[in-house]
Structure 1
Amino acid sequence: MMNDGMLSQDEIDALLRGMDSRDRAPALHDIFTPLEQDALGEIGNISFGSSATALSMLLNQKVEITTPNVSVIERTRIADEFPRPYVAIQVNYTEGFHGINLLVIEQRDAAIIADLMLGGDGTAPDSALGEIQLSAVQEAMNQMMGSAATSMSTVFGKRVDISLPTIHLLDLSEGKGLEYLPDEDFLIKVSFRLKIGTLIDSNIMQLLPVDFAKELVTYLLGAAEGGEENRPELPAGAPLSVET
């Protein structure tokens, strides 16, 4: 039964199982209450705030990440969401939570980050992204996500650990890399605007399975049965700018 116009978790699961490619994706408000939407955005905001600091120090550049936009995307139409070549960094949560977080950036942005990591000025990156460049991007993302996990530990009040990130090339319009995405019909996309000096002004995106995103916000808000009390209060979201 629906409660105050919201779907229960059982109804959400049934909805996600029962929809096929001819049906529309569920709207965000079908899955999350307004408070849960805010909480999900703030989790991303807090995580990427610390990530921006780590990236700024690594690249010796001003890094700005805006407040996030949260949406639901359908796996069968994911090529429309990612029409250009991208680089995906996969992180598995191994302690505190268990789930997959996929960080997606455009391939040209990854090339700029790799060039900066390797001592260049970012103005003439090697767009081929060979093994050395991919390793450089992987290390940058490792530092970012490690910093994010530390912040999450503080916010959630428990230890949060992640695996070493793995990196994949995606060209979904050509059908390449789909196997690296979470095996879910629908995914939560948390999108940020990323600015690095004058070199990058683009989007950086998180892809989360719906159940994992729901687990995060439920735990944070203390709504789960037997959840701990006195969780930290969420700060107001704001654009983040870090300069070294």
Structure 2
Amino acid sequence: MSDLLSQDEIDALLRGMSESSSQETTITDQDKDVLGEIGNISMGTAATTLSILLNQKVNITTPVVSVLRWDELPKEFPVPYVAIKVVYKEGLEGVNLLILKKEDVEIIADLMMGGTGNIEFSEELSELQISAIQEAMNQMIGSASTSLSSMLNLRIDISPPEAFVIDFAQNAEEMIPELKSADEIVKVAFRMTVGDLIDSQIMQLIPVDFAKQLVNAMLSNTLGAFPAEERTEAKSSVQETIRTSEKPSMEESSKRQTVASSHSFQQKKEEKSERVYNVSPVQFESFDEEEERRYPENIELILDVPLEITVELGRTQKLVREILEFSTGSIIELDKLAGEPVDILVNGKVIAKGEVVVIDENFGVRITDIVNPSNRL
């Protein structure tokens, strides 16, 4: 008997491989529900960050997930949009594309630069506007990645987001070859409102293979605590819970840590066996030497919050009659001596001492002493 495969056998193997590959890359309705839940939570924290940056109330609603083919993108996005490309390098590997309307980008850029957002739209975006939206998306995606990392229990690292104008009918293949090579593309659409200035959509385009990574990571993290024989039943229950649950607000979603259905399974697990308690000696902190300062694990959530720094040279008190006598050339004597350290304040609270220096043609302050935290209180 010959060891060589016949043509019919080869064709059958190829068909089997094709069907297997198709099953792995197909996005099911349950996968869409999981992707919607991931987007719901991660974009909730992103909306909070954008609200702080723009000093406007930002709301991003529950997402709508659909699947598109590459040739459907020009019809779905007939006019030029602004795209922000995010490459995941660690924890997850893939590309995520954020899509914004050009008019929305102009308003956000104006708010980022201290404007009111009430502007006349231009035909083309300037480099300054592209830089402004890139910085805004950098902050948003950073917050979303932090939330995603906590949700999936993974260390996630991304490359700096890249912003550019994209026309899906002309330059899309050059700008995003990663999406061109995907058979199907997952579109996650959010309704975004910014004060009374924007009522529009912000969209995510994700290759199917990367979307599958997100779904598997979410389910693996949620089901990791269950025994192997219970995971199939638990997976179905978790997906069903996500599918049938009411759509929560973004604020509630950003606080969600686990899927509610896991509680019932955990109770069943505890009923099957007696509780075992691990007892260990209490470990007290050492007061012999000062330990290195450690920041809370969730400090990343507020690292991008802007603070106002003020340097105070000195103070004095004057009567109303003395102030009315001020004129050009008047000298006001302060309560500090020449060469005495100046106070450095953050949001009105003294946090350090320093000395005034000159950097090129600008004044600066060299920090000479940090105020003890107990003294700040």
2:92 is the counterpart of 1:100: no
Report the residue type matching 2:144 in the other structure. A
Tell me the percent identity. 48
- Report what 1:44 is aligned to: 39
1:26 corresponds in structure 2 to none
User: Any idea what SS the aligned residue of 1:122 has?
Assistant: coil
Residue 327 (structure 2) aligns with: none
* Match 2:210 to one of 205, 209, 212: 212
Match of 1:69 in 2: 64
How far, CA to CA, are the matches of 1:229 and 1:160 in structure 2? 21
Alpha-carbon shift at residue 84 of structure 1 (Å): 1.8
Structure 2 counterpart of 1:198, from 171, 196, 212: 196
Corresponding pairs, count: 218
Pair 1:125–1:52, CA change in 2 (3 A): farther
One-letter code of the match for 2:146? Answer: T
Quickly say closer, same or farther: Cα 1:241–1:33, change in 2 above 3 A. closer
Deviation at 1:241, TM superposition (A): 6.6
Runs of 4+ off more than 6 Å:
233-236
Note closer, same or farther for the CA distance 1:44–1:11 as it changes in structure 2 (3 Å cut). farther
Q: Which of 94, 112, 115 is the matching residue for 1:117? A: 112
Amino acid at match of 2:59: E
Distance 1:9 1:87, change over 3 A: farther
Mapped contact 1:142–1:165 kept (Cα < 8 A): yes
Shift of 1:238: 2.2
Match of 1:14? 22
- 1:186/1:210 contact within 8 Å kept: yes
- Are 2:187 and 1:189 aligned? yes
- Residue 186 (structure 1) shift: 1.5
1:74 Cα deviation (Å)? 1.0
**Cα deviations by residue, 1:49-94 (Å, 9 ceiling, x for unpaired):** 0100000000000101110000001101211111122100000111
Cα RMSD (Å) of the superposition?
2.9
1:113 CA drift (Å):
0.6
Distance 1:241-1:154 versus aligned 2 partners, 3 A rule: closer
What is the alpha-carbon distance in structure 1 between the residues aligned to residue 64 and residue 18 of structure 2? 26
Residue among 170, 180, 187 paired with 2:175: 180
* Corresponding position of 2:250: 240
The equivalent of 1:157 in structure 2 is 153
For 1:147 and 1:101, locate their aligned partners in 2 and report how far apart those are by CA, in whole Å: 15
Q: Deviations over 1:175-205 (max 9, x none)?
A: 1334223232320000000000111111100
Aligned position for 1:131: 127
Q: 1:12 to 1:134 in 2, by over 3 A?
A: farther
Change (3 A) 1:203 1:241: farther
Cα distance in structure 2, aligned partners of 1:45 and 1:149: 13
Per-residue CA distance 1:107-162 (angstroms, 9 max, x = gap): 11111111111111111055331111100000000000000000011100121111
Taking the aligned partners of 1:139 and 1:125, their CA distance within structure 2 comes to 22
Give me the TM-score of the superposition, normalised by structure 1: 0.80
Query: Whole-Å Cα distance in 1 between the matches of residues 43 and 104 of structure 2?
Result: 17
Do the aligned partners of 1:101 and 1:208 also contact (CA within 8 Å) in 2?
A: yes
SS across alignment from 1:97: coil
Query: For 2:43 and 2:20, how far apart are their aligned partners in 1?
Result: 28
CA distance in 2, matches of 1:237, 1:82: 27
Tell me, what secondary structure is at the counterpart of 2:125?
Answer: coil
Distance 2:142 2:191 in 1: 20
Cα distance between partner residues in 2 of 1:90 and 1:219: 22
| Residues 81 and 166 in structure 2, CA contact (< 8 A), matched pair in contact too | yes
Q: Which deviations, in whole Å up to 9, do the C-alpha atoms of 1:211-234 show, x marking residues without a partner?
A: 1101111111129xxx8447xx87
Question: CA distance change for structure 1 residues 16 and 54 in 2, over 3 Å: closer, same or farther?
Answer: same
Q: Which residue of 2 aligns with 1:3?
A: none
In structure 2, what residue type is equivalent to 1:41? G
CA distance in 1, matches of 2:112, 2:58: 14
Paired residue secondary structure (1:67): coil
Does residue 220 of structure 2 align to residue 222 of structure 1? Answer: yes
Following the alignment from structure 1 to structure 2, what is the Cα–Cα distance between the partners of residues 55 and 9? 45
Question: With CA pairs under 8 Å and 6+ residues apart, which has the higher RCO, 1 or 2?
Answer: 1
| Alpha-carbon distance change, 97 to 121 in structure 1, aligned in 2, over 3 angstroms | same
Say yes or no: does 1:147 pair with 2:143.
Answer: yes
How far residue 170 of structure 1 moved from its aligned partner, in angstroms, is: 1.2
Is there any run of 5+ residues in structure 2 with no aligned partner, and where? 1-15, 227-237, 253-377
- The aligned residue for residue 171 of structure 1 is 167
Separation in 2, partners of 1:40, 1:152 = 12
Task: Report the AA paired with residue 13 of structure 1.
Answer: S
Q: Which amino acid aligns with 2:248?
A: A
AA matched with 1:143? Q
